[in-house]
Amino acid sequence: MELLTRREHGARELKRKLIAKGLEAEAAEAAVDELAAEGWQSDLRYAQAITRSRARQGYGPRRIAYELAQAGVDAATAD
């Protein structure tokens, strides 16, 4: 929860950070799934936040789509 209070995180990024903090991979996966089910984590909100931020910085749609793909956001959500 502490990570999500600072900014939006994609599911892949959040799992990676939880594992880096010492959680086992399965526990991190379960935690992120539960957070998503309760509405605390959303790849859609993450994609919207990244898109707004990068567009303000002058990045174009292809660069933003690439960054979202690298972050593990599926193509339908990125579109």
Angle between the 43-56 and 61-70 helix axes, to the nearest 10 degrees? 140
Query: What pLDDT sits at residue 49?
Result: 95
Global confidence as pTM: 0.87
Residue range 12-52, pLDDT digits in tens? 999 999 999 999 999 999 999 999 999 999 999 999 999 99
The DSSP line for 15-58 is HHHHHHTT--HHHHHHHHHHHHHTTS--HHHHHHHHHHHHHHTT
